[in-house]
Every structure is written in C-alpha cells, then in structure tokens.
Amino acid sequence: MKQGRVTGKKALVSGGVSGIGLASAKLLAAEGAEVIIADINPPEEETGLAFHHLDVSDENAWADTMAFVADTLGRLDIFVNSAGINGTGFGLPQNPEELSLEQFRKVMSVNGEGSFLGCKAAIAAMKGHGGAIVNIGSLSAHLTMPTMFDYAASKSVMHYLTRTAALHCADKGYDIRCNLVTPGATLTPLWGTIFDENADIEAQKAAIVEKIPLKRWTMPEDVAYAVLYLVSDEARCVTGAEILVDGGQRLGGRGSR
C-alpha cells in the first residue's frame, strides 16, 4: 500500500477527540494531511493535532470553526463528520412509547442537525476547489431496533443526507464527493454508557462478539481505513456510496442490543 495517500490535503474531523473521529484524524495525519480536530470536549491526550472547540448543534459555532479552518489551514479538502452521541447516556428509555421529546430532540440535534450543519459548512468551504466529505453513520439505521429509536432515527438522517449532498454537489459541478462509512459494533467510549457496570464487563463484550459473524469487535482504526480510502484520490469516482465496516452484522440482520 502506498504511503502519503492524502499528502498536502487539509482536513477537519468533528468528534475528533476520541473513538472513530480520533482514529481517523491520526490516520489522515500519518498519511500526510494537515488535520484539525473539533469537539465539544477538549482532548484527553496529546495528539499533536490542532484543536478547536465545536458544539455541532450550534450553527454559529460552525461559522466560527470554519473561520478557524480558513485561518489555520488556508482551505478545506477533507471533512469527516464523526461527532455523535448515544441516547443511552441519558439513562432513559429509548423506545417510541417511553422516549421523551426532550431526549429525542437532544440526540437529533447532535446526530441529525449537527451532521446537516457540518455538511452545509463543508460544502460552502469546498465548492470553489472541490473536496471529500465522509459521514460516519451507524448500522442501527439499517435495522429495526426499538430500544435505540432516537439514535437510529438520528443516524438515518445522516444516511439520507449523504446521498442528497452527493447528488446536489455533483449536479452543481462542485467536484465535492460525499460518502458514508457505516460501522457496526465498534469498541469506542460510547459503549461505556451501554454496558452494565454492575455485571461482568468482559462477559458482556463476549456476548456482543457472539452476535457478529466475523466474531471480532470492529475497532476505530478499522473504520478509519475506510475513511482514508474515501477521502483519497483513489476514490475520485466514488460518491453517494456506503462502506459497511460491521464484521458482517448486516448480513445476519443482527444488532448489538
């Protein structure tokens, strides 16, 4: 595999301080890109990457972030839309009977509205010279999972957004590609809100693995390699596409919860 697959490109990764976002940012930097990570939380480790505070649900915050990108990088070639939250962290039911409107709106504001605002801002920054957008979706958007109604609904917005943004940019002649990477059960900090802390964590992890056809967790780095391909010139004719990185979960129609 050749090195320097994104050398000289300028990248922004939302949700870039942990999990898939951080893995993607590190890999892009290792492959030659200049990267800014943006997140509502500050980095917990030294990354060597520029950081900018961003609440993805705030349109004004996006304007401030894109101004920082312009001042720091000069232009934007790559945007990885990775910021997201899981409604499990609120400790409330997520089924369509008991889910509160407040919780639904909170999850949708980050995962749905935040993704829309990110794509909108990236298109504005890239349309003069072209670029690549990758949205990080979720297998839950493909499965019917009543216990994850708010999260799955919000990720479904991202899936549809990817296709419409891709076609819009192509029709406008912007030379901006927009694609989707869809992870299955990926071992990120979000799982800390899902596991029962009063039970054997390793046993819970093993039970998840048993539901995955390939019998292994997807790691953030596995998803990052799919991101790298889609933002590289190797994928110059790929837009509106989806890459599943799920260990075969969709083939078996199996969710993790």
**Cα four-point dihedral sign 228, 234, 238, 239:** positive
Beta-carbon contacts of 221 under 8 Å, excluding residues fewer than 6 positions away, are 23, 27
* Catalytic annotation, residues: 151
The 242-245 sheet, strands edge to edge: 50-53, 34-39, 10-14, 78-81, 131-136, 176-183, 242-245
| Rounded CA separation 206/2 (Å) | 35
Please report where in the chains the tokens 């504005």 appear, as a residue: 124
Exposed (0-12), middle (13-18) or buried (19+): which is 87, by Cβ within 10 Å? buried
The DSSP bridge pattern shows strands 34-39 and 50-53 to be parallel
CA-nearest of 156, 169, 85, 73 to 119 is 169
Give the position of tokens 């799919």: 226
Q: Do residues 62 and 54 lie in contact, with contact meaning Cβ atoms separated by under 8 Å?
A: yes
